[in-house]
Amino acid sequence: MEIDVLMGPAEFERLAGRELPGVVCVVFDVLRATSTAVTALTNGAEGILPVATVDEALAAWRGDPDLLLAGERGGLRIGAEITGGREFDLGNSPREFGRDRVGGRRIAMTTTNGTRALRACAGAERVIAGSFLNLGAVASACLRAGAEKILLVCSGTGEATALEDALAAGAFCERWMGRGDFGDAAWLVWEAWNVAKSDLFGAMGRAKNARRLRSIPELSPDVELCLRVDCLDGVPCLGRDGWLRMGEGAAVPRGLDPGRDSS
């Protein structure tokens, strides 16, 4: 099995509209879209519709006013000044998506990069939302899938590579050591992970997105939260209808309900 890595938007956007038979795409947007998605689904959300734009999210809500609207621009919850009147219900912090808020609900979600990446990969045989939180569950699901190729997709920040996504891809590669044929980019992220893994939180001092989040007091706790490894067992998969739902494995939380503490 071949394992390769796409490092950012310039690479994953080329996948849009392409059929990718035999390929499993694992999308990483550690800070924060895929971390938020697995948290929301673990906490009982029925499904998440990832959309690229604010207008698409609003159109989905107009078609189904029971949908929750979630998303960010510039890291902050989308407000009425962006939509022309409708403030979003949720931002992109995992701490907002507690069971009391999202249990039993469906969510339309748009973020700067993560939802774009998920949508770009829609032609793959399987698309999985990965993060540090559910890393082991995702690696196990990929092993069971028996695909010809695993493509690790780093969502990035803006149009650039994001260190945190590359490190998550490297951590995935570590769990696949000896099981597949690594492309050069897979070796690169694995090497980066081996340098950073002894002090992952410290490594975020070199990550542009993490530094930005840390500079915003109400968002700073998200960085440490999203770096917790293997605390969730759910594997969100993108269906042919465009919705993320729990796929391989049950949503078995290990004591993590960030929504209980939104400080």
Which CATH number belongs to the domain containing residue 226 in this structure? 3.90.1560.10
124 has pLDDT over 50: yes
Sign of CA dihedral 6, 8, 9, 10: negative
- Name 207's Cβ contacts closer than 8 Å, sequence gap at least 6: 31, 162, 163, 164
pTM of the model: 0.92
pLDDT reported for residue 230 = 97
d(CA 107, CA 114): 15
250 has pLDDT over 70: no
96 has pLDDT over 80: yes
Strands 20-28 and 124-130: parallel
Domain that holds residue 21: 2-240
Residue 111 lies in a domain: yes
Residue 176 lies in a domain: yes
State the average pLDDT over residues 14-42.
96
Considering its fold, how many domains does the chain have in total? Answer: 1
Residue 43 lies in a domain: yes
pLDDT reported for residue 17 = 87
pLDDT reported for residue 90 = 98
pLDDT reported for residue 146 = 86
Q: Is 146 exposed, middle or buried (0-12, 13-18, 19+ CB in 10 A)?
A: exposed
